[in-house]
Amino acid sequence: MKLELPRQTERFGSVQINDIQRVLLLDSAGDDDRGQTGVSSVPRKSIHEIESKMAIVIPVKDEKINVLEGVLGAIPSECLVIVVSNSSREPVDMFRTELDMVEQHVHFTKREVWIVHQTDPGIGKALKNTHYKEILDAEGSVRDGKGEGMVIGMLLAKAAGKEYVAFVDADNYFPGAVHEYVSVYAAAFHLARSPYAMVRISWASKPKIQDGSLYFSKWGRISAVNNMYLNKLISSHTGFDTEIVKTANSGDHAMTMKLAEMLDFRQAFGIETYEIIDILEKFGGVLKPTNSKPMADGVEIFQMETLDPHFHEDKGEEHLGQMLADSLLAIMGSPLCTETLQKEVEAELPEEFEKREKSIGSFIRVNTEAFLQRIIKSGSIFMFG
């Protein structure tokens, strides 16, 4: 793969946020060149090596089964796939449909896929026993929410001994785009100089039908607002205006396990925005650092623009409003957010939203092997392949 070098890098304490890097050539055997010639070149072999150390988590809630099947088929066989479902169990048992599809997929492809339902009582019990209660409700079940599902995926990825954990949404209509995301994650990790790295996808465009013809829009409405406020939060500390953050809401993203273990997460749809805030809080040097190792090694955030367009399910205005609220609340709640900025962000909150602003903490204390053994014993995980 050949990638542009980032034209700019914003430094915030020990955190480096690289500007967008475009994919120039999707696939090449090529030389290993980290930019001496102005372009980074990552050999196909190195991409496959990293993919074998990567788990891909697919959070899913009541998506079209054919679309989910396309997403599975797009993920290289080197990767462990972990499907974390919160799909309905009645009147139609959607989870059972997903399970059957996964079993059939693995029968024919002979690859490794794990699948769990996030509200399975066995998962709640295992989390309670391994002292991670932040994502449980009063009855001891894991709460609804994409963030909650993602954290379960991270725990399983760690239990599987993976060095990298990545996410792809289950409502990606183009399998080719998903395949590109995974290659891009691996290429960026190959280029990273620090063991604490994150890769966020910035799609080339989001196609939609407008006035009867196809229109390839560049920015989603929610991301435009959230990018602006995250950039303002950075500027309010550096004293320089910046437009560096372009992927505040990137659902399709990946982290080294070493970085994932250092972070706190946030429930529902605030999680992607909060990951950046948490990195700035912990390693940005403004607040007291919580861990000296990433402070010394640095934390790198890559923002990669794919060749493929991003085409996903349109879930309507109410959903977008809630997603915006979750992200804005994550920004407002940060001790890095100044009073002036808090007021500005508050004015953007949609008129009606459910106030969800809980941190779901960090999972570093969880004994992930014990967690996995418990859920195997309770029959709460299906491990195919």
Token digits for 247?
């992927």
Beta pairing partners, 20: 303
Query: Are 302 and 18 contacting, i.e. CB atoms less than 8 angstroms apart?
Result: yes
Q: What are the residues whose beta carbons fall under 8 Å from the beta carbon of 381, sequence distance 6 or more?
A: 114, 115, 116, 156, 372, 375
Query: Are 17 and 299 contacting, i.e. CB atoms less than 8 angstroms apart?
Result: no
Instruction: Please give the Cα distance from 75 to 56 (Å, whole number).
Output: 8
Instruction: Please give the Cα distance from 199 to 108 (Å, whole number).
Output: 31
Token digits for 201?
């996808």
Minimum CB–partner distance for residue 265 and ligand GDD (Å) = 12
Beta pairing partners, 117: 85
Question: In which residue are the tokens 């010639």 written?
Answer: 37
Minimum CB–partner distance for residue 81 and ligand GDD (Å) = 13
Residue 230 CA: distances (Å) to CA of 75, 276, 327: 31, 9, 10
Q: Which residues of this protein are in contact with ligand GDD, per CB under 6 A?
A: 59-61, 63, 84-86, 118, 144-146, 149, 169-171, 220, 249, 251, 269, 272, 312-313, 315, 319, 323
Instruction: Please give the Cα distance from 67 to 50 (Å, whole number).
Output: 26
Q: Measured from the CB atom, is 170 or 276 closer to ligand GDD? A: 170
Minimum CB–partner distance for residue 11 and ligand GDD (Å) = 25
Q: Measured from the CB atom, is 183 or 249 closer to ligand GDD? A: 249
**Residue number, nearest CB to ligand GDD:** 251
SS3 325: helix
Token digits for 242?
């910046």
Q: Measured from the CB atom, is 57 or 337 closer to ligand GDD? A: 57
Q: Measured from the CB atom, is 124 or 149 closer to ligand GDD? A: 149
Q: Measured from the CB atom, is 249 or 303 closer to ligand GDD? A: 249
Residue type, 312: H
Q: Measured from the CB atom, is 81 or 191 closer to ligand GDD? A: 81
The torsion defined by the Cα of 327, 358, 366 and 55, in degrees rounded to 10, comes to -20
Q: Measured from the CB atom, is 111 or 143 closer to ligand GDD? A: 143
Q: Measured from the CB atom, is 6 or 147 closer to ligand GDD? A: 147
Q: Measured from the CB atom, is 162 or 312 closer to ligand GDD? A: 312
Minimum CB–partner distance for residue 52 and ligand GDD (Å) = 24
**Residue 328: closest CA among 303, 301, 362, 355:** 355
Minimum CB–partner distance for residue 304 and ligand GDD (Å) = 15
Minimum CB–partner distance for residue 379 and ligand GDD (Å) = 19
Q: Measured from the CB atom, is 41 or 334 closer to ligand GDD? A: 334
Beta pairing partners, 16: 11, 300
Instruction: Please give the Cα distance from 335 to 347 (Å, whole number).
Output: 18
**Residue 55: closest CA among 174, 150, 191, 177:** 150
Minimum CB–partner distance for residue 17 and ligand GDD (Å) = 18
335 exposed, middle or buried (CB, 10 Å; 0-12, 13-18, 19+)? Answer: exposed
